[in-house]
Structure 1
Amino acid sequence: MEGLKALFVKPDPNAQMRKCNALIRSNIRKLDRDISQVKQVETKTKNLIIAADRRGQRNPAQARQAQREARDFAKELIRARRTSSRLVTSKAQLSSVQMQVNEAFAVRKIEGSIRASVGVMKDVNTLIKLPQLAGTMRELSVELMKAGVIEEMVGESLPVDDDMLEDDLDEAEGEVDKVLGEILKGKMEKAGPTPVPLPEQPQEQPVALDEEEEDQEAMMDQMRNRLEALRS
């Protein structure tokens, strides 16, 4: 009965707008949490770089290993910064979507109809590719299509690869050197004489990551696992 009713009764525009805004706010909160977690990873990695450098200075016999560790940590910091930048950009796009959606519903109240927005459709299609938002953004796109804010999405969206390829990192040695110079020159003066503790254990191979992980927290888990493996 409800199915037949839905065929003949138009959805309430106010209810549609509330549902769309609820989904958008939920995604913004999720991005805020992820951004905060990545910032914590950045801070932790900076401390590990400083600790490795100090350990190499205190014990010349371990200088070579400490230098390798510092460079590995620098690569992790580059990954974290790129992830953070991508998340901040996604949050700005999501805020833009919210503004345009509310504007579309406001125009509907005045003109009695709603026009599909190419801008919203483009942003939604981009955000669906973000693994952290894929599920809820698909749900949002369905609601926006029902309301007429966007047209039907064409084609399957592929998830964004969060990790830098090792080949890319090998080609970015200059960027690694720049990060090390920034951290060791700027932070050592503020860190004081007390060294940051680092376990004295042989370096192990990084933990293998499951590239097909679909969980929304996979990106943060992968980054934390790499850092823990490098500390080991």
Structure 2
Amino acid sequence: MQTIRSVFFKPDPAEQKRKCDALIRKNVRALDRDIQNMKITESKTRNYILQASKRAERNPAQAKQARQECRTFAKELVNVRRQAGRLHTSKAQLQSVQMQVNEAFSIRKIENSMKVSSGIMKDVNTLIKLPELSGTMNELSQELMKAGIIEEMVGDMLETNELLEEDEEAEAEVDAVLSEVLKGKLGPIDQQMPAIPAQEEEEAEVEDLEQMRGRLEALKS
């Protein structure tokens, strides 16, 4: 029945706007949840760095491994903050899309016509590539095409800002994170280490490495 109606009747602008608004709100809520999760993960990661540092102070035999743990978790903290920044940027883009969509529908009321917006097309095309939003953003793009706000996006028709994953973290950034979290306490660890029997040191490193891997998996899950 809906297919037959779509052949003879144009889509209701008010209904189209409601659908677009609902999809945008759904995406904003999803981003807010992800941003909150990033805050929790950041707090946990900071605590892991502090725990490793305290363990080094209490047990000199684990000082070397603890220093490695601190750097590993500092790199993870850098990644978490980058991802949080990407989510905040995406939310700003989505809110921009919402304002432009509302403006387009307002103009339609006055002029009885809908104009294609290249700005919305660019933002939507960027947001569709986010794993967090790809499903509902595809739905939104379909509704915006039906309303005539954007055209069908094909291949490389649009210039987009790719969100690239960085394979290597800058050591300077990791050092800055460690300095921020530990307030310079990590630096002297190697100098404070007494001589430890090789076998005892190796056993301690293996045990701590397993614990660190478990914590990293917990952060990523």
How well do the aligned residues superpose, as a CA RMSD in angstroms? 2.7
**Aligned residue number for residue 23 of structure 1:** 23
Moved over 6 A (4+): none
Q: Secondary structure at the match of 2:183?
A: helix
CA contact (8 A) 2:178 2:184 kept: no
Relative contact order higher in (CA < 8 Å, ≥ 6 apart):
2
Distance in 1, matches of 2:37 and 2:2, equals 43
Cα distance in structure 2, aligned partners of 1:139 and 1:51: 45
Paired residue type of 2:36? S
Does residue 225 of the first structure (1) align with residue 217 of the second (2)? yes
Distance 1:124 1:155 in 2: 14
Matched, 1:180 2:186: no
1:203 correspondence with 2:212: no
Give the corresponding residue for 2:144: 144
* CA pair 25-107 structure 1, distance change in 2 beyond 3 A: same
Q: Where does residue 61 of structure 1 map in the other structure?
A: 61
Q: 1:201, CA displacement in angstroms?
A: 3.8
Match of 2:81 in 1: 81
- Higher Cα radius of gyration: 2
**CA distance 1:28–1:75, change in 2 (3 Å):** same
- Separation in 1 of the partners of 2:165 and 2:54? 28
Q: Quick one: which amino acid aligns to residue 225 of structure 1? A: E
How far does residue 82 in structure 1 lie from its aligned partner after superposition? 0.3
**Paired residues, what number?**
198
Alignment of 1:31-110 (within 5 A): 31-110=31-110
Contact 1:127 1:137 in 2 (8 A): yes
List gaps (5 residues or longer) in structure 1.
Answer: 189-199, 208-222
Q: TM-score, normalised by structure 1?
A: 0.78
Q: Deviations over 1:109-167 (max 9, x none)?
A: 00000101111000000000100000100010000000011111112899x778542xx
2:113 equivalent to 1:113:
yes
Compare the two structures and name the one with the higher helix fraction.
Answer: 2
After superposition, the Cα gap between the structure-2 partners of 1:86 and 1:228, relative to the gap in structure 1 and judged at 3 Å, is closer
How much has 1:3 moved relative to structure 2?
1.8
CA 1:131–1:16 in structure 2 vs 1: closer, same or farther (change >3 Å)?
A: same
Is the CA contact (8 Å cut-off) linking 2:65 and 2:208 kept in structure 1? no
Q: TM-score, normalised by structure 2?
A: 0.82
Residues 186 and 105 from structure 1, CA distance in 2 versus in 1: closer, same or farther, beyond 3 angstroms? farther
* Offset at residue 51 of structure 1 (A): 0.9
Whole-Å separation in 1 of the counterparts to 2:165 and 2:51:
25
Conserved in 1, the CA contact under 8 Å of 2:45 and 2:76? yes
